[in-house]
């Protein structure tokens, strides 16, 4: 096997069969966990780890909850040890006292997770385990610290430096593509033919982040359309009838869908980095691209209108004014924009570039925003400045035209006030 082919095949197919399979079936979960954590863990640990993960995979309901309770109650923090080692470190700061402190603040369940991870495929199973845990959390808030520990560990394991950006296209393995179909969260993919339309044409791109230990599992992916000019509706973008554009002829890259794939990695953010890297890669490969823009939903628009007692006008211009006002001026208690998608892109340094009526007339699109969509623009010359303004004071950068639309909405609202209409 050649060197790099070997690297690949080892990454992808490694199968570990320990020659030392003790009698594991008869032992309880606490015993098994103790075995993996004990000194013997170094020698016979892989078989035991494999067994724990297999047994976990067969658990359901209460049994699974019992395992989580074991992690929470038997492998939790020893507050006394923390205090003792901290005092010792303060008295005499040294490698030894610091090491003792570091050991004391880390519950055993973290080391357990690290040791379970030594067997092939374990990483994906541990991510699934956190997904199960997150499902259980609302009913069992006492499991919160277990979740925090897994999250902390995953933030090291899934450090951005270990992620790999890959294009997803019609040459990708079927087992990866079927996950793209399953995980698409914004504009559902109905079938393999529908998928093909998203990844095969010359004016379509898709990119995903992968982790080497989970090579068949995309972590997050973004779908991109290459266009001439900034598009104003997702129907046009996804239409079968459109003329395919040669990639070289495009001047605009439109990010029209971003989907997180792994519920078990909630709270570990990849999206900002993904967009920046895709912008960098596309710029290098297609020098004709001048504009990088999203075509994004406005998920909170209709809810907000209901809250403020407004109904969506039938007039496209008024719809746009209304959306612009919402995006620029509707805030949460801490002063940040109310719309979650807006917070994501504005936080990345994008600006509100344009709003379009009848841009997503699917049932979902109508329900959430009356069909209005928004373009966020990633303008390299302004990203740092936009980001600073947003990070400091939640300033919302917007194009002059969107500002004008919002201003018109304000005037209409004032007018409405004077006329006795409910406030925008």
Told to check if 78 binds a copy of itself by CB under 8 A, we report no
Binding residues among 177-236 for a copy of itself as defined by CB under 8 A: 177, 192, 196, 210, 212-213, 215-216
The single-letter DSSP state of residue 266 is: T
List 53, 75, 112, 122, residue binding a copy of itself (CB under 8 A): 122
Kindly indicate which of the ranges 56-64, 151-159, 300-308, 413-421 contains the residues binding a copy of itself, using the contact rule CB under 8 A. 151-159
The secondary element (H helix, E strand) that includes residue 103 is: helix 95-105
- Is 342 one of the binding residues for a copy of itself (CB under 8 A)? no
**Tokens, residue 65:** 């909850």
Residue from 32, 59, 166, 245 touching a copy of itself (CB under 8 A): that is 166
Closest to a copy of itself by CB, 260 vs 272, is: 272
* Interface with a copy of itself (CB under 8 A), residue from 112, 129, 150, 153: 153
Binders of a copy of itself among 42-61, rule CB under 8 A? Answer: 42-44, 46
260, β-bridge pairs: 220
At its nearest, how many Å lie between a copy of itself and the CB of residue 183? 16
The C-alpha atoms of residue 22 and residue 169 are separated, in whole angstroms, by 45
The count of residues interacting with a copy of itself (CB under 8 A) is 103
Report, in Å, the least distance between residue 253 CB and a copy of itself: 14
* Part of the chain binding a copy of itself (CB under 8 A), chosen from 171-179, 248-256, 396-404, 415-423: 171-179
The residues that bridge with 226 in the sheet, in sequence order, are 253
Query: Residue 267 — left, alpha, or beta (φ > 0 → left; ψ -120 to 50 → alpha)?
Result: left
71, 108, 147, 374: which one binds a copy of itself (CB under 8 A): 147
- In sequence order, what E strands does 266-314 have? 291-294
Q: Which stretch binds a copy of itself (CB under 8 A): 25-33, 50-58, 163-171, 222-230?
A: 163-171
Residue closer to a copy of itself (CB basis): 29 or 105: 105
| Binding status of residue 30 toward a copy of itself by CB under 8 A | no
Letters for 81-120 (x = contact with a copy of itself by CB under 8 A, - = none) are -xx--x--xx--xxxx-xx-xx--x--------x--xxxx
Per CB under 8 A, contacts with a copy of itself among 388-407 are 388, 391
Secondary structure (DSSP) of 117-148: TTSTTHHHHHHHHHHHHHHHTTT-GGGHHHHH
The only residue of 30, 66, 144, 288 in contact with a copy of itself, by rule CB under 8 A: 144
> Given strand 164-167, what is the order of strands in its sheet?
164-167, 204-210, 220-227, 252-260, 291-294, 373-377, 351-356
Minimum distance of a copy of itself from residue 175's CB (angstroms)? 5
Range 269-288, binding a copy of itself (CB under 8 A): 269, 272-273, 276-277, 279-280, 283
Under rule CB under 8 A, residue 3 binds a copy of itself = yes
| Of the residues 30, 54, 135, 159, which one makes contact with a copy of itself according to CB under 8 A | 159
Supply angle C-alpha 58, 43, 45, rounded to 5: 15
Backbone angles phi, psi at 411, to 5 degrees: -60, -45
DSSP state of 263: G
Across 66-77, b (16+ Cβ under 10 Å) vs e yields ebbebbbeebee
Residues 210, 214, 216: CA angle, nearest 5 degrees: 75
Does 358 participate in binding a copy of itself (rule CB under 8 A)? Answer: no
Contact status: 334 vs a copy of itself (CB under 8 A):
no
Pick the closest to residue 346 from 415, 304, 290, 402 (CA basis). 402
Alpha carbons 382 and 388: distance in angstroms, whole number: 10
Nearer to a copy of itself, 66 or 212 (CB): 212
From 252, 254, 245, 237, select the one nearest 362 (Cα to Cα). 237
């Amino acid at each position: 096997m050649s060197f790099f082919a070997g690297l690949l095949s080892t990454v992808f197919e490694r199968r570990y069969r320990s020659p030392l399979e003790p009698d594991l079936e008869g032992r309880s979960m606490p015993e098994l966990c103790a075995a993996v954590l004990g000194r013997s863990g170094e020698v016979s640990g892989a078989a035991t780890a494999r067994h724990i993960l297999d047994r976990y995979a067969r658990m359901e309901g209460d049994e699974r909850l019992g395992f989580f309770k074991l992690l929470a109650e038997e492998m939790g923090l020893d507050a006394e040890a923390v205090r003792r080692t901290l005092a010792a470190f303060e008295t005499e700061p040294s490698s030894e006292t610091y090491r003792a402190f570091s050991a004391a603040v880390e519950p055993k369940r973290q080391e357990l997770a690290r040791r379970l991870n030594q067997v092939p495929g374990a990483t994906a199973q541990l991510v699934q385990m956190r997904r199960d845990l997150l499902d259980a959390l609302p009913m069992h808030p006492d499991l919160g610290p277990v979740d925090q520990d897994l999250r902390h560990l995953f933030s090291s394991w899934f450090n951005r430096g270990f992620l790999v950006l890959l294009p997803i296209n019609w040459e990708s393995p079927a087992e990866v593509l079927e996950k793209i179909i399953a995980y698409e969260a914004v504009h559902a993919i109905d079938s393999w033919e529908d998928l093909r339309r998203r990844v095969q044409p010359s004016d379509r791109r898709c990119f995903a982040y992968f982790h080497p230990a989970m090579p068949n599992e995309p972590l997050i992916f973004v779908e991109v359309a290459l266009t001439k000019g900034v598009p104003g509706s997702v129907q046009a973008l996804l239409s079968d009838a459109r003329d395919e554009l040669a990639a070289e002829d495009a001047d605009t890259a439109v990010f029209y869908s971003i989907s997180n794939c792994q519920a078990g990695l909630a709270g570990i953010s990849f999206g900002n980095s993904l967009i920046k890297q895709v912008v960098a890669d596309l710029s290098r490969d297609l020098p004709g691209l001048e504009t990088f823009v999203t075509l994004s939903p406005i998920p909170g628009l209709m809810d907000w209108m209901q809250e403020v007692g407004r109904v969506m006008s039938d007039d496209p211009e008024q719809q746009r004014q209304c959306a612009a006002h919402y995006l620029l001026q509707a805030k949460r208690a801490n002063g940040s924009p109310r719309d979650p998608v807006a917070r994501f892109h504005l936080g990345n340094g994008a600006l509100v570039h344009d709003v379009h009526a009848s841009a997503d007339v699917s049932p979902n699109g109508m329900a959430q925003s009356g069909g209005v969509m928004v373009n966020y623009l990633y303008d390299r010359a302004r990203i740092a400045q936009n980001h600073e303004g947003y990070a400091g004071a939640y300033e919302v950068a917007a194009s002059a035209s969107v500002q004008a639309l919002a201003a018109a909405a304000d005037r209409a609202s004032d007018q409405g006030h004077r006329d006795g209409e409910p406030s925008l």
